[in-house]
Amino acid sequence: MSRLFTPLTLRDVTMRNRLWVSPMCQYSAVDGVPQEWHHTHLAQFASGGAGLIVAEATAVAPEGRISPEDAGLWNDEQRDAWAPIVAAIRRRGAVAGVQLAHAGRKASTWPPFAERRGSVPLDEGGWTTVAPSAIAFDGYAEPVALDRDGIDHVVAAFAAAARRAVEAGFQVLELHGAHGYLLHQFLSPLSNRREDEYGGSLENRARLLLRVLDAVTDAAPGVPVIVRFSATDWADGGWDAEDTVTVARWAAERGADFFDISSGGLVAHQKLTTGPGYQVPLASRIRREAGVPVNAVGMIDDAAHAERVIADEDADAVMAGREWLRDPHYALRAASELGADIDYWPAQYLRARPVARRSPDPGR
C-alpha cells in the first residue's frame, strides 16, 4: 500500500493523501482581491487529487504584500472573493488552506514577470517597508524598523486575517515564517539587530512569531495551524537548523500542529546547492529532533521520490510547487504510477484511469 496515499489528520481536518500543493504567488490580484485566475488555478489542483491546497502568500496588511499584485485578507471584500474559490476546492474533495504572510523588508517589489526588478518607487505605487531593523535586502529600499506599536499592529493584523480566512471557509492556516519575509526577518540575527525584547537572544527573536501564533490560535480556535520555516539561511552567522528545532518545539507547545520545512531566502549571499529533495534532510532533522510532524518540499517531482520520503519517515507529507504547475493532476498521475487505488478520480476523467472503473467505450 502506498504511504503517500494514506490520509493524514490535523485536529479534526483530514487530508485524503499526503501529496500537497505548496503556496505559490500568482501576482494577479487587484487591490488584494483574488481574481478568476486564482479560482481556476487552485480548483484544478483539487480536481487533480491534491490532499491539501495552500493558497499563496496572502498579505495580512497592505504594506505586507510582496508586490502590489499580491492577494490579501485585510478586508471583507477580499474575504468574500476568496469564499467561492475555497468552496470550489472543497467541493472537489481537497482541503483548503491559506498562507498568512507579511513580507516586511521584501515588500513593495515588482512581480517576477515584470520587466523591472527591485523595489517599486513610492510615486509608482510602492510604499515604505518595515522590518525588525533598518537593514535593506540586497538591492531593495531600506525599511523602517518597527516600533512596539508597529509590532502590535502586525500581531493584530495576523489575527484579523485568520478570522477572515475561517469566515471564507479555509480549513487550515499557515504562518509564513520562511523565505526572508517578516517573521523570518525577526528570527534571523542577519536581519534582526534589535536591542529590545524582540532582538538578541533566540527567545527574543522568536517572540514575534510566537505572539502571532498565539493571536491566530485565539482568533481561529480549533483550526489547524502550520508554521513554515526556512530551516537555514545558508549563510554564516544566520538562522540554522538547530535554531529551527528549538523554535519548532516552542511553537508546538503553543499550539502549532504541523511544520512546513523549506530554506533560504533571507539574504542574497546565501550559498546552497539545489537538487531533487535537497531540503528533505532538513525536514527529517526537524521531525526527528523536535519531535514534530513536518512536510518536505523542494524538487520532489516524481511519485517514487515522494513515496520514498514518506516511507523512510523523513517527513509526514510532501509539498510540491512547480510539478503541480506542470501537471495539475500530479496526484492522479502519482497514484497510477504507485498503483494506489484511490476513489476520488473525477467521474469525468475515469476513462483516463489506467485501472478499473474506466468507460468501456472511450469514444463516448
Mean pLDDT for the stretch of residues 166-181? 98
**In this structure, how many other beta carbons lie within 10 angstroms of the beta carbon of residue 214?**
15
Q: Which residue has the higher pLDDT, 350 or 357?
A: 350
pLDDT at 313 over 70: yes
Mean pLDDT for the stretch of residues 342-355? 90
Listed residue (212, 146, 144) closest to 177, CA to CA? 212
Render pLDDT for 4-21 as a digit per residue (tens, 0 to 9): 999 999 999 999 999 999
pLDDT at 250 over 90: yes
pLDDT at 362 over 90: no
- Across all residues in the chain, what is the average pLDDT? 96
Q: In a 3-state reduction of DSSP, which class is residue 35?
A: coil
* pLDDT at residue 354 in the model: 81
Are 67 and 61 within 8 A, CB to CB?
no
Question: Which three cell numbers mark 139?
Answer: 538591492
Q: In a 3-state reduction of DSSP, which class is residue 219?
A: helix
* pLDDT at residue 357 in the model: 44
Mean pLDDT for the stretch of residues 269-285? 96
Q: Give the rounded percent of residues in the chain with a pLDDT score beyond 90.
A: 96
* pLDDT at residue 1 in the model: 85
Q: Could you please state the CATH topology (level 3) that the domain comprising 8-352 is classified under.
A: TIM Barrel (3.20.20)
Render pLDDT for 52-82 as a digit per residue (tens, 0 to 9): 999 999 999 999 999 999 999 999 999 999 9
Pairwise CA distance, residues 30 & 304, whole Å: 39
pTM, whole model, 2 decimals? 0.95
Q: Which residues contact 342 (CB under 8 A, 6 or more apart)?
A: 5, 16, 17, 49, 332, 335
pLDDT at 358 over 60: no
Render pLDDT for 191-205 as a digit per residue (tens, 0 to 9): 999 999 999 999 999
* pLDDT at residue 355 in the model: 58
Residue 87: C-alpha distances to residues 38, 186, 194, 199, 232 (Å): 13, 35, 43, 41, 36
Q: Which residues are catalytic?
A: 181
* pLDDT at residue 25 in the model: 98
- The single-letter DSSP state of residue 349 is G
Domain range annotation of the chain: 8-352
Helices and strands (H, E) in the chain, number of each type: 11, 12
